[in-house]
Amino acid sequence: MSRLELRHVCKAFGGLEVLADISLRVGAGEFVSILGPSGAGKSTLFRLLTGAQHGDGEMFFDGTPLDNHGRHFAFMPQRDALMPWRRILDNVTLGLEVQGFRRKAARARVAPLFAEFGLAGFERHFPAQLSGGMRQRAALLRTVVQERDMLLLDEPFGALDGLTRTAMQRWLEQMWRHHRWTALLITHDVREAVFLSDRIYVLSARPARIAREIKVPLPRPRGPGGDAARQASALEAEILDIILNPGLSPQPPEGYDHD
C-alpha cells in the first residue's frame, strides 16, 4: 500500500517546461530518493506537494487526492531556513507552535530529542553560532518533531563540505533505522541516494521525466566496507551511466503501465 502516489504530474513556468511527466509512489516506512541534476525541477516537485505551487496531474495520499490544505508533509528546504532571530530551541518548536501547541508543551516535547540530534547544550544558541552540520540537524529536528505522515527532504546536505556530508549521511541512516520515517529525499548526489534509500527515481534533465526506477537491495545498517560497499559501488556506477548517457534508451519505470 503506497502512501504517496503521483500520476503524470507536469509543471511549466510560462513556456518553460520543468516537470514533463512524473509518476512515482512511496510506501509506508519507505525511504525513497529522487536523484537528478541541478535545475531538473526537483525542488519544484516539492513545491507542488506542499501546495506552494500548482501543476497538472494527480497526487494522492493514502488513496485520496491531495488537496492543498492536506497537512501530510513535514518539509525541509534546500537551505536550512532556520530563523536567525530565534534560538535553536525556538526554531525547533516552530512547527508545533504553528500547530497550536503551548510553548511549554512544545519545548517539553522536543527537549529529549536534542541529545539524539547532537544538539544538546546548544538549545539557547542562535543559528549563526552553529556549524553547518549542526544547523542541518536542527533543521531536520524541526522537521521530524512535527510528526507528520511523511518527510520531504530537499538536498538536506547539499551545502555541507564533503566530510561533514558523509558524517551526516551515516547519522541520518542510523536515525532512519530507529524511526522508520516515510521519507522522500531529493538529491543530486548518487552516493547519498544509494547509501540512504530503499528505492531511487532517477530524473532526466529538464524537462524532468522518471528516467529509471532503481531498487536498492543493500542490507542495513549500511556501514562502510565489505560486500555491501562493493554492491553499492556497482549500483552507483550503473546510475551514473544512466544520468551521463541518457541516449541509451531508458527503460520505463517498473511497476507503471501508462494507461
Ligand X SMILES: Nc1ncnc2c1ncn2[C@@H]1O[C@H](COP(=O)(O)OP(=O)(O)O)[C@@H](O)[C@H]1O
Residues at the contact surface with another protein, assessed by CB under 8 A: 47, 50-52, 71, 73-79, 81, 83-86, 94-95, 98-99, 118, 122, 124-131, 133-134, 146, 152, 164, 167
**143 or 204, CB closer to another protein?**
143
Query: Do 206 and 43 form a contact (C-beta atoms < 8 A)?
Result: no
16 binds, among another protein, Mg ion, ligand X, none (CB under 5 to 8 A by kind): ligand X
85 binds, among another protein, Mg ion, ligand X, none (CB under 5 to 8 A by kind): another protein
Rounded to a whole number of angstroms, the minimum distance from the CB of residue 46 to Mg ion is 8
Query: Do 110 and 145 form a contact (C-beta atoms < 8 A)?
Result: yes
Whole-angstrom distance, CA of residue 11 vs CA of residue 48 = 9
Radius of gyration of the chain (CA): 18
**126 or 256, CB closer to another protein?**
126
Rounded to a whole number of angstroms, the minimum distance from the CB of residue 4 to another protein is 15
Query: Which one of residues 8, 37, 43, 132 is an interface residue with Mg ion (CB under 5 A)?
Result: 43
**145 or 200, CB closer to Mg ion?**
200
* DSSP bridge partners of 200: 33, 214
Three-state SS at 33: strand
**40 or 92, CB closer to ligand X?**
40
Please give the single-letter amino acid code of residue 127.
P
Element spanning 19, H or E: strand 16-27
Whole-angstrom distance, CA of residue 150 vs CA of residue 143 = 10
Rounded to a whole number of angstroms, the minimum distance from the CB of residue 73 to another protein is 6
For residue 189 the three cell numbers come to 548526489
What are the Cα distances from residue 119, in Å, to 44, 171, 217? Answer: 31, 13, 32
44 binds, among Mg ion, ligand X, another protein, none (CB under 5 to 8 A by kind): ligand X
Rounded to a whole number of angstroms, the minimum distance from the CB of residue 102 to another protein is 16
Supply the DSSP symbol for 84: T
For residue 244 the three cell numbers come to 551521463
38 binds, among ligand X, Mg ion, another protein, none (CB under 5 to 8 A by kind): ligand X
Whole-angstrom distance, CA of residue 217 vs CA of residue 214 = 9
Supply the DSSP symbol for 206: S
**129 or 251, CB closer to another protein?**
129
Rounded to a whole number of angstroms, the minimum distance from the CB of residue 184 to another protein is 13
**133 or 207, CB closer to ligand X?**
207
Rounded to a whole number of angstroms, the minimum distance from the CB of residue 187 to ligand X is 10
Question: Binding residues for ligand X, per CB under 6 A?
Answer: 13, 16, 18, 36, 38-44, 206
For residue 155 the three cell numbers come to 538536498
Whole-angstrom distance, CA of residue 28 vs CA of residue 80 = 26
Rounded to a whole number of angstroms, the minimum distance from the CB of residue 241 to another protein is 33
